Structure 1
């Protein structure tokens, strides 16, 4: 029609969840192909901002820590919501925003790359090289570990970070869109920064640690379920999950590591060394064997399958839920999620 733009997306033509699903798939594919952004990583920028806020707010008090957590996470979610508002008229722009956010937030490829570097060093007998790289993956004391212990540390880190760096973010993205993606990564990053039991952070970091436990709970269970389903040993994975996960000090890491242990047929847990102190963790997967260097590659491959399996489950679930909600909405004047539309306007 002359002087008017025709509505491109009419009511009922396109699901409101479809641009998000397309964007999440593109973002995970971008992580697979390009890994993390080399410069200007948004997570690094968030870390710098959170560090600056900590210097201003720190007191040895839970209330100050709660304020720090609220400001940092709330600020990140608020910026994400502003970005969503800016592209609200365009499904294509929203899909692109979701793709960019997913690519920046998930870290499955960098996780696998670091694990493989350490695994290759161990396979070549270069224990010193493996010790040099281990801090890039986890916080263990590398000097206190021999080759089998480093292999076990790598497998445990791959398992836990599959949930933290990939599945948890995708799940919150499916639930709450780009703000969910960004919010989960903000919580997880803040926990890594201040959620410790050190004298400085025992009180100040309490809120960040507890919020991370809550935010990570559903993603950890989905990760464990997919590891059991896709790992080739479902009965062993479920058995280890049920028998051993509850003995782990973390409500989320124990679930994921136990399921990976059963799926891979190995034993995880035991004595760990952090910051010069030794901590005895429960053994996960007691029926399994000791971790071998070859299990690093097996863990990385399982992590990749779990990541793509999570995307498939969440995309299908989100689209199905949206369709069900639309079907139940009254024909006229109903509430619920609106499909994407582009309004007519002057040329």
Structure 2
């Protein structure tokens, strides 16, 4: 079991460094390939029905986790191959570097006063309607997206990697990608995407809480982060985005939430950190740096959790009952 822990630690660290150095490739990304496959399955299965949506989720997310598990079993006897597989999977499912690049690109456009360029790039980061937003509203959207995606694109994946190894990494990213594809409340996906959205809420729960806790520890204002997260997290309509965005709001000393414009609809969300100042363009860089610190801490936590899981399995395999039977 010690080898299992060390293999995960080395592979996860290498994958994390790979994401830092390379980010996401423009072509041939495994997550994009999964998205195309999931879309093909959707075209065959789609009905305005929750049951068909649940089947779509099972085939796509469950199939991905099962395939990753089978691949992990094939390399189990080779420590080098196991580390390489963990590293490649970790790199494929993490998106922290690309998140920071997109956020900084929008921040740079806003700082230069080029609103149109910022509007062109915003859809790469979130689903807001950029034509309905001014510069300050786009800056707020970017900070909110950095906060939420720190959990979705980094911390949540590392948590499930620690708990489930390569299948946990791949399964979490599959669920999160499906939610982005079909989990929104449009007329087409209100029923079909229900299962994906609910499953994403479940698997995202531990990562969101860990992200909020690490934001309190790593942020420039721990007391403010704790105060706003404890008071305002439950006011957000998303059970997982709420703690993360509230913690970021408190840590950065800014107001998040309020009116949001999507294509075809407008949402009026509660304000998080109402006593704080509005978001400014410079806060985008602060949010990206905070995201990076939280991500690095999450890697350490994931390695520690994996060690605990390995020790627990080892203790179970050497229980007194099994030792007694072994010695007979």
Q: Would you say how many aligned residue pairs link Structure 1 and Structure 2?
A: 323
Choose the corresponding residue for 1:280, options 248, 251, 268.
268
Question: RCO higher in 1 or 2 (8 Å CA, sep ≥ 6)?
Answer: 1
Matched, 1:217 2:205: yes
Choose the corresponding residue for 1:92, options 66, 80, 89.
80
Give the aligned partner of residue 193 of structure 2: 205
Once superposed, what is the RMSD of the aligned Cα atoms?
Answer: 1.5
Higher alpha-carbon deviation: 36-45 or 50-59: 36-45
Give the aligned partner of residue 307 of structure 2: 319
Matches within 5 A, 1:291-330: 291-323=279-311, 325-326=313-314, 329-330=317-318
Change (3 A) 1:82 1:155: same
Q: Name structure 2 gaps, 5 residues minimum.
A: 324-328
1:286 is paired with a residue whose SS is coil
1:44 is paired with a residue whose SS is helix
Matched, 1:20 2:4: no
CA distance in 1, matches of 2:183, 2:50: 12
Give the aligned partner of residue 150 of structure 1: 138
CA distance in 2, matches of 1:133, 1:314: 32
Q: Name structure 1 gaps, 5 residues minimum.
A: 1-11, 336-347
Choose the corresponding residue for 1:260, options 248, 260, 283.
248
Give the aligned partner of residue 243 of structure 1: 231
- Give the Å deviation of 1:333: 8.5
Choose the corresponding residue for 1:269, options 246, 253, 257.
257
Which protein is richer in helix relative to its size?
2
Give the aligned partner of residue 70 of structure 1: 58
Q: Is the 8 A contact 1:15 1:323 kept in 2?
A: no
2:269 is paired with a residue whose SS is strand
Change (3 A) 1:99 1:67: same
| Aligned structure 1 segments of 4 or more residues deviating by more than 4 angstroms | 331-335
Q: Is the 8 A contact 2:132 2:261 kept in 1?
A: yes
What TM-score comes out, normalization by structure 2 length? 0.95
Change (3 A) 1:286 1:324: same
Q: Is the 8 A contact 2:163 2:305 kept in 1?
A: no
2:260 is paired with a residue whose SS is strand
